[in-house]
Structure 1
Amino acid sequence: MKKIVPDPPASTLRRTTAHTHFGTCHGSHPPLFAVCEEADIEDALVHLSAALTSAFETNAQLCEMLPRPAANLAWATYQSLEIGQALIGAMLNRKDCKLGG
């Protein structure tokens, strides 16, 4: 039996990063750091997850040290970092990609 509608072509598109610099000092010198062009998206997400986890741990300590109302701002950042980590975990299809337990 022949198919009436053929299967779509297999995607050969590889998701990669674009060159993006960061770490500027507002014009006093060229940027010191950059995201490499053509890095695999999954590798970039793994590195982003590690960076967010580090920021989360630092922020969690800050939440415990600050008095109110400044601590409320740190808790808002905590929640934003948690959202970012959950999104990365979802993109990587990983259930173990969580912050703080």
Structure 2
Amino acid sequence: MIKIVPDPPAPRLTTVHTRFSTCNDSHKPLFAVCEGVDIEDALVHLSMSLKSAFETNAQLCEMIDTPPLGGLAWATCHSLEICEALVESLLGRVERPQVR
């Protein structure tokens, strides 16, 4: 039997309300991620924020000469690079869904 009406598209993933920036619970949260933002839009913003943090930290790595601080800065640089790659991978999956 041939189905005349196609299945509706699967619902898109969205963000949930998430508060942040409480300074270790010393005050009420200053900021929040809004609920209901499409995951692709959220990933694009996350990617841009990670790129900004990566560039800022890379400049810091070039300025620090002392070994303990330089090592921490480079560790942060590598962690940001991993996060950026993961986000780009997820964003690529959202933009080009896998056909099954």
- The answer on 1:74 being equivalent to 2:73 is yes
Task: Name the aligned partner's letter for residue 29 of structure 1.
Answer: H
SS of the residue corresponding to residue 86 of structure 1 reads helix
From the two aligned structures, give the one with the greater helix fraction.
Answer: 2
**Matched letter for residue 41 of structure 2:** D
Q: Which letter does structure 2 place at the counterpart of 1:93?
A: G
Tell me the matched-pair count. Answer: 88
- Could you list the runs of 4 or more consecutive aligned residues of structure 1 that deviate by over 2 angstroms after TM superposition? 25-29
Unaligned runs of 5+ in 2: 94-100
Q: Which of 11, 14, 19 lines up with 2:12 in the alignment? A: 14
Q: Deviations over 1:60-80 (max 9, x none)?
A: 111111121311111111111
**Per-residue deviation at 1:93?**
1.3
Considering only aligned residues, what root-mean-square deviation do their CA atoms show, in Å? Answer: 2.0
In the other structure, the counterpart of 1:27 is 25
Q: Which residue in the other structure is 2:98 paired with?
A: none
Q: Distance in 1 between matches of 2:40 and 2:62?
A: 33
CA distance, structure 2, for counterparts of residue 28 and residue 87 of structure 1: 32
Percent identical pairs in the alignment equals: 61
SS in 2 for 1:25: coil
Query: Partner of 1:42: helix, strand, or coil?
Result: helix
TM-score normalised by the chain length of structure 1 = 0.76
- Partner amino acid, structure 2, of 1:61: Q
Q: TM-score, normalised by structure 2?
A: 0.77
Query: With CA pairs under 8 Å and 6+ residues apart, which has the higher RCO, 1 or 2?
Result: 2
Report the equivalent of 1:65: 63
- Residue 39 of structure 1 is matched in structure 2 by 37
